[in-house]
Amino acid sequence: RGRFGAMMWTPVLNNIVVIATFGAFIWAFGGFTTSGVNATTVTAEGVRLLGLGTLLGLTVQALAMLPYLRDAGFRPRLRFDWRGHGLGKAARLAKWTFFFVLANQVGLVVVTQLATWAGSVAEKQGHPGTGITAYNYALLLWQMPQAIITVSVMTAVLPRISRSAHDGDAAAVRDDISYGLRTSAVAIVPCAFAFLALGVPMATLLYAGSGSGAQNIGYVLMAFGLGLIPYSVQYVVLRGFYAYEDTRTPFYNTVIVAGVNAAVSTAAFFVLPARWAVVGMAAAYGLGYTVGVGVAWRRLRNRLGGDLDGAHVMRTYARLTGACVPAAAVAGAAAYAVTQWLGSGVTGSLAALGAGGIVLAAVFIVAAKRMRIQELNAMVGMVRGRMGR
Asked whether residue 37 carries a pLDDT value surpassing 60, the answer given is: yes
Residues 6 or more apart in contact with residue 326 via CB below 8 angstroms: 363, 367
Asked whether residue 29 carries a pLDDT value surpassing 90, the answer given is: no
Q: Tens digits of per-residue pLDDT, 326-380?
A: 999 999 999 999 999 988 888 889 999 999 999 999 999 999 888 888 777 766 6
Q: Compute the average pLDDT of residues 197-206.
A: 92
Closest CA to 215 of 195, 230, 200: 200
Residue type, 358: I
Given a contact cutoff of 8 angstroms between Cβ atoms, the answer to whether 173 and 202 are in contact is: no
Asked whether residue 83 carries a pLDDT value surpassing 80, the answer given is: no
Closest CA to 327 of 370, 268, 377: 370
Give 252 or 344, the one with higher predicted confidence.
Answer: 252
Alpha carbon distance, N-terminus to C-terminus of the chain: 27
Given a contact cutoff of 8 angstroms between Cβ atoms, the answer to whether 193 and 325 are in contact is: yes
Residues 6 or more apart in contact with residue 6 via CB below 8 angstroms: 64, 65, 68
Q: Compute the average pLDDT of residues 212-226.
A: 91
Asked whether residue 237 carries a pLDDT value surpassing 60, the answer given is: yes
Q: Compute the average pLDDT of residues 84-95.
A: 75
Asked whether residue 66 carries a pLDDT value surpassing 60, the answer given is: yes
Asked whether residue 209 carries a pLDDT value surpassing 70, the answer given is: no
What is d(CA 4, CA 160) in angstroms, rounded to the nearest whole number? 13
- Burial class of 245 by CB neighbour count within 10 A (0 to 12, 13 to 18, 19+): middle
What is d(CA 271, CA 323) in angstroms, rounded to the nearest whole number? 34
CB count in 10 Å sphere of residue 372:
9
Q: What is the pLDDT of residue 181?
A: 94
Q: Tens digits of per-residue pLDDT, 309-330?
A: 889 999 999 999 999 999 999 9
Q: Compute the average pLDDT of residues 31-60.
A: 88
Asked whether residue 92 carries a pLDDT value surpassing 90, the answer given is: no
> Residue 59 — very low, low, confident or very high, per pLDDT cuts 50/70/90?
very high
**3-state SS track over the chain:** CCCCHHHHHHHHHHHHHHHHHHHHHHHHHCCHHHHCCCCCCCCHHHHHHHHHHHHHHHHHHHHHHHHHHHHCCCCCCCCCCCCCCCHHHHHHHHHHHHHHHHHHHHHHHHHHHHHHHHHHHHHHCCCCCCCHHHHHHHHHHHCHHHHHHHHHHHHHHHHHHHHHHHCCCHHHHHHHHHHHHHHHHHHHHHHHHHHHHHHHHHHHHHCHHHCCHHHHHHHHHHHHHHHHHHHHHHHHHHHHHHHCCCCHHHHHHHHHHHHHHHHHHHHHHHHCCHHHHHHHHHHHHHHHHHHHHHHHHHHHHHHCCCCCCHHHHHHHHHHHHHHHHHHHHHHHHHHHHHHHHHCCCHHHHHHHHHHHHHHHHHHHHHHHHHCCCHHHHHHHHHHHHHHCC
Q: Tens digits of per-residue pLDDT, 280-305?
A: 999 999 999 999 999 999 999 998 88
Q: Which of 46-50, 67-71, 177-181, 304-308 is predicted least confidently?
A: 304-308
Residues 6 or more apart in contact with residue 368 via CB below 8 angstroms: 319, 320, 323, 376
Angle between the 310-342 and 170-206 helix axes, to the nearest 10 degrees? 10
Q: What is the pLDDT of residue 381?
A: 63
In the predicted model, what is the mean pLDDT of the chain?
A: 89
Give 226 or 212, the one with higher predicted confidence.
Answer: 226
Asked whether residue 233 carries a pLDDT value surpassing 70, the answer given is: yes
What is d(CA 280, CA 276) in angstroms, rounded to the nearest whole number? 6
Given a contact cutoff of 8 angstroms between Cβ atoms, the answer to whether 103 and 87 are in contact is: no
What is d(CA 281, CA 237) in angstroms, rounded to the nearest whole number? 24
Residues 6 or more apart in contact with residue 202 via CB below 8 angstroms: 141, 194, 195, 218, 221, 349, 353
Q: What is the pLDDT of residue 109?
A: 94
Q: Compute the average pLDDT of residues 164-174.
A: 91
Q: What is the pLDDT of residue 378?
A: 66
